[in-house]
Amino acid sequence: MEFQEKLLKVDQALSRDDTKALAFLCKDILKCDIRLVESPIDLFQRLEEKDVLSEDQPYLLADLLRVIEHFQLLRELDLNSTMSTTVNPITPYRKLLYELSKGIGQKELKMIKFLLNKDLQRSALELNVSTLEVFLEMERKDLLSSSHLDLLEQILEDVCPVLVKDIQQFNASQGKIAKETGLVDSRPRSSSDAPRPGKDQTDPTRYPMKAQQRGFCLIINNFDFSRSRGSQSNRIGTHIDTESLRHVFTWLGFKVEVLQDATRDQMLSSMRELASRDHSGMDCVACVVLSHGLKGGVYGVDGGVVQLEELTDLLNGVRCASLRGKPKLFFIQACQGNQREQAVPVQVNGPVDPEVHDQTDGTSRPRVNIQTDGSSSPGDLCSDASVAIESLPSMADFLISKSTPPSYVSLRDKKKGSWFIQSLCKNLVLLVPRDKDLVSILMELNEDVSQKSDSTNSMRQMPEFTSNLRKLVVFPVPEGPRPSLPTSLASWARFQLINLGPV
């Protein structure tokens, strides 16, 4: 059979969706808007003009049919055994995205579009837009490339986690190839990942981040409130937050220390000890408090209250000279009162928020997954009620990020950890490699948590942060692989047994 006749037979056998798939697979070869490809014949003519398809070079045709699994056509055209050992113009990246698209159903695609509704144009979010077309739009917006799969991986972790391993295997294989050949791609992963002109580590608008160790990160994890003089319940799910934080801040270069179940005096004593250390060889310091709270402070496990100012003031420039001029970062997962954020209707340009399977607490809801960290709550989604400081410290270089504004509760899922801490960890892992500064990351965190709700869509949460930083906090991109975060009590237990030992 003449080669042109074979191409005509393929043209007659393929559907419109097949044509789109072939054009997508050939996008890196064509280097044009593949929406202009009208038919298989049109595609083949463009490929012939690129000198990658001919009677003497049928390999690309055979590979295309093999990828889209048209094996009968391969047999009929006698191309089944046609395979080049030297030429493979379809990139592994294109094949990866095509394989991912086959594993994404309509339900998952709808959720993906929802998660991207602030990044893509509305036309790319319509019901008739396919997964491959969403991928193309992400590429146009510089949200996706062969060396920038972070956002897609993050989305699939939430929507279709079984596909995440395909991305991880692809990244591993690309790293292996680069190592074996010595051809490491030094190009920026994307324009958003590339260091901006003049924005290196000597940039006066950024805090220096040159130390061998980023700094100390103290995590105060208060779980067991059985000794409390009040009615606080044990904070089930907080261990998920602790391990997520441990992995992320270790990845960022911090020396992480966890203080478990601290009383009021122990919390203050640990902060005084932290302030007494020599931080001159460090870039910054971080402190995370996971506890019950009230307006103005957080609880120790004995029921004693520590005002937030008491914690921050211990690291000011007078009491800790080696931290002068360096960022002092505080993250507070605790309620700041007993009021509950309520959902309000907003006109949005995008699909409906997919249901979040969490419930509010209360005796009438026996299968609740949400609790607060104020007074005792019987549910699984809990609030971490605490107090907001009424004013920022007068000293410079402090940033305080809190899970909720003054007077409101903060929610924690017993099985998955708190909304605030889990979003913080995910956004750090996703956005630090894209050269985002910490304040920008916290704005993304605020947006992320504000979109969450319980299954009745009646409860919301709105984090806040206060800053008197003088420069941008931009963490250097870690050299090691991105950390895997525990996502449930079961995964936390596996982390304990395999990697960490008891907390």
What amino acid positions are annotated as catalytic residues?
292, 335
Say if CB 461 and CB 450 are below 8 A apart.
yes
Mind giving me the DSSP string for 162-189? Answer: GGHHHHHHHHHHHHHHHHHH-----S-S
What's the length of the chain?
Answer: 503
> Is 10 within 8 Å of 47 (Cβ atoms)?
no
* Cα–Cα dist 274/267, whole Å: 11
Which residues lie closer than 8 Å to 173 by C-beta, 6 or more apart? 92
- Rounded Cα distance between 131 and 110, Å, is 10
Q: How many Å apart are CA 376 and CA 384, to the nearest integer?
A: 10
Is residue 298 a contact partner of residue 289, using CB atoms and an 8 Å limit? Answer: yes
**Cβ 449 vs Cβ 417: under 8 Å:** no
- What whole-number distance in Å separates Cα of residue 54 and Cα of residue 217? 61
CA atoms within 13 A on the CB side of 54: 7
Give the chain's end-to-end CA distance (angstroms, integer). Answer: 70
404 three-class SS: coil
CA distances (Å), 270 to each of 4, 33, 220, 401, 496, in order?
Answer: 78, 59, 9, 20, 24
Output the CA–CA distances (angstroms, integers) from residue 66 to 58, 78, 84, in the order listed: 12, 13, 13
- Non-local CB neighbours of 187 within 8 Å, separated by 6+ positions: 147
Could you give the count of Cα atoms lying within 13 Å of 305 in the half-sphere of its Cβ?
16
Q: Residue 133: which H helix or E strand, with range?
A: helix 131-140
Residues 248-273: b if buried by 16+ CB within 10 A, e if exposed: bbbbbbbebebbbbbbbebbbebbee
